[in-house]
Chain A
């Protein structure tokens, strides 16, 4: 089955961020195709490279980065939600005159159209939220 995943909550604050990655891993392990993972609302915080969780805890962003590398996943962070919450890529950082950028490796920033496209192209859109 061709699946897409929508992640609506930030890491550590909500179980849904963990559930989303565990579901994605399980779906890939069962041989399903994951067309796209889209991050919206506070879910965009899953894509920051500036988070430094304690060493004895899981690192959700790093898990996504590794999973994306391993399976060539398309991890898309919503630009409007990201700008509100301070998640920037290099281009946007320059454009806004900021002194750094923090989008994590394996993630890209794009528009909400990518979510709608995922809904159109996938057999199922599976949503993780509060």
Chain B
């Protein structure tokens, strides 16, 4: 039973939320603002998973250096996700390989899934937010 001080949480069932990140980390603000949604959403204790595909795989690439473009490098924040119990991180295999990357190039541990497996995972979701 919820204690009175937990009243600020939203009532309702736990739902399966998937955040699909498809764009490069810089150039547009989508990746950063997507991460902001994920961090806020973590407080709602839903069943959360993240997908990185297409240029979105670059969001979790190691050794990002944004000095020359004058934009904040927000990639260390992805490492904090584990502390928010956001642990289901999927990367589409085809996106990773076609960009010449492997999991060794990534700053967080991920599960690599093939395109058709990803489609199955998406099928299981109740809310999909694509950024």
Q: Interface extent on B, as a size class?
A: 20 to 34
- A sample of 23 inter-chain contacts (CB < 8 A) reads A40-B33, A40-B37, A80-B33, A80-B36, A112-B36, A115-B37, A116-B10, A116-B37, A116-B44, A117-B10, A119-B15, A119-B17, A119-B46, A119-B127, A120-B10, A120-B13, A120-B44, A120-B127, A125-B127, A127-B129, A127-B130, A129-B130, A129-B131
Q: Which of chain A's residues have a CB closer than 8 A to the CB of B83? A: none
Main secondary structure of the interface of B (DSSP, over half): mixed
* A residues apposed to B, CB below 8 Å: 6, 40-41, 80-81, 84, 111-113, 115-117, 119-121, 125, 127, 129
Residues of A close to B15: CB separation below 8 A: 119-120
- Give the residues in chain B near A117, CB-CB below 8 Å: 10, 44
Given contacts A119-B127, A121-B10, 16 further A-B contacts (CB under 8 A): A41-B29, A80-B36, A111-B40, A112-B36, A112-B37, A112-B41, A115-B37, A116-B37, A116-B44, A117-B10, A119-B46, A119-B126, A120-B15, A125-B127, A125-B129, A129-B130
